[in-house]
Amino acid sequence: APVEPKTLLQEHAQRLGRTLEYVSVEETGPAHARTFTFAVRVDGRELGRASGRSKKDAQGAAALAALDALRALGGEAVAPCT
């Protein structure tokens, strides 16, 4: 089964002793069609931000953006989501 981006990012942060935080940035739209925006911070530094129709979707997309940012920085090896 594929590994969820949030799980992968959490494991990566734990392995490196980093703090990981999801921050709700914005909620827009009517109650029946909300859009949630979350930022993910690693050691207080924002590495990803994304929106989704649910908090879970927004957090997952933000985690994926953070994983992409970590790979682009090339600092630490991050396994790809499969």
Per-residue model confidence as pLDDT tens digits over 8-66: 999 999 998 999 999 999 999 999 999 999 999 999 999 999 999 999 999 999 999 99
Query: And the tokens for 69?
Result: 């940012």
Q: Which residue has the tokens 């953006």?
A: 65
Model confidence, pTM: 0.86
First to last CA, the chain: 8
Per-residue model confidence as pLDDT tens digits over 44-58: 999 999 999 999 999
